[in-house]
Amino acid sequence: MSKLFSPFRLAGQEFPNRIVAAPMCQYSADDGSANEWHLQNLMTLGMSGAGLVMVEATAVERIGRITHGCLGLYSDNNVAALDRVLKAARRVSPAGTKWGIQIAHSGRKGSEQRPWEGGAALKAGEDPWETISASALPFGDWHTPREATAGDLARIRDAFVAAAARAVALGFEVIELHCAHGYLLHEFLSPLSNQRTDDYGGSPENRMRFPMEVARAVREAVPDGLVFGARITGTDWHDEGIDLEEAAIFAAALKATGLDYICVSGGGVVPGLKIPVEAGYQVPYAAGIKERTGIATRAVGMIADPHQAEEIIASGQADMVALARGLIDNPRWPWHAAEALGAEMTVPPQYLRGHAPNWPGAKLARPGAGR
């Protein structure tokens, strides 16, 4: 029996398989509110067969967006728009599909152009906003952020709690904190971006302080029976940054607050690094966190081949695998993975005629099949 397609249980929620549609920014919202693009995108991902679909990084306050087009959960309008989209996506999803949302604050990596507009800092005529961070250190040549004050930290912590409460009210089964990729919580964690001299800077314990305050506060807002997780960095890919051992200390602290799983990614806190990207290049960090803490982990990063994904789960390196670009490129990846691994998966009856084994005539098989 395929391990990739075996069910998995966390905090009272059962996932039909170990495949996760990773949170992928779409940069297409209207003042944080989902629209027809999100409707189409999330309905497509819902039909993919992934056991868990994660909604993209969603800002907890307006200045916590990366771009003008980033999703948010900071207003009643945001809630109403996402409610419409989520209900529609659930209606077309296979039975048992779970839905999660990643709540985030961009920190110094906000006030940015959309990737297809250049991906640089917003210019004067593009309605930029003041960014904040652990320290007044810019990300490359982007805007120099303002160092967050005690008042900022209290406001942002409360914004995370409010966003989590809105997500719970919307019916999400999974709430995830974004503590990676160089955004605000990661900026506090990493010595590369945090040069504070107060209780929130210096030692690893101090740098963890604000992310842990947020995690504990959000934990209180997530009821028992729902899943609470975090995406963290397993490495900054820099000799002076976070390494696996420090990441494991943070993961263990999160676990002690009642966190249910960790998604382990890496990088993003400083620009221009040469990261050795290859198939499954971040999987060892998920395995390392799991080995050191015993917490459930989700692996991510260039996981594209079904047999590769199967081996990650079967070998115990991680409990779940997340696909991002792979599911954008091929939203039917789980269907084809099930076929490749000899596993069963329910295909919507409306699409059965498009399933390769049902094509009329052996010579009309899907291009490349059997080669």
Please list the active-site residues: 183
Is the pTM of the predicted complex or chain greater than 0.85?
yes
- Residue 55 forms beta bridges with which residues? 101
Strands 52-59 and 19-21: parallel
DSSP string for residues in 70-115: --B-SSHHHHHHHHHHHHHHHHTSPTT-EEEEEEE--GGG-SB--G
CATH 3.40.50.10790 is the classification of domain 8-364: no
Domain ranges for the chain: 8-364
Contact 187, 268 (CB under 8 A): no
pLDDT on residue 370: 39
Distance in angstroms (rounded) separating the CA atoms of residues 185 and 207 = 9
List phi, psi (to 5°) of 135.
Answer: -140, 165
Closest Cα partner for 58 from 145, 153, 177, 142? 177
**pLDDT of residue 368 exceeding 50:** no
Distance in angstroms (rounded) separating the CA atoms of residues 180 and 134 = 14
Which stretches of 171-305 are DSSP H helices? Answer: 184-189, 204-221, 244-256, 283-293
How much of the chain, in percent, has pLDDT values that exceed 70?
Answer: 97
Which stretches of the chain are DSSP H helices? Answer: 36-46, 76-91, 150-170, 184-189, 204-221, 244-256, 283-293, 306-314, 325-329, 333-341
pLDDT on residue 214: 99
Q: Using one digit for the tens of pLDDT, what is the confidence trace for 263-287?
A: 999 999 999 998 999 999 999 999 9
Q: Using one digit for the tens of pLDDT, what is the confidence trace for 45-57?
A: 999 999 999 999 9
Report which DSSP code applies to 56.
E
Q: Using one digit for the tens of pLDDT, what is the confidence trace for 321-360?
A: 999 999 999 999 999 999 999 999 888 888 888 777 777 7
Q: Using one digit for the tens of pLDDT, what is the confidence trace for 206-222?
A: 999 999 999 999 999 99
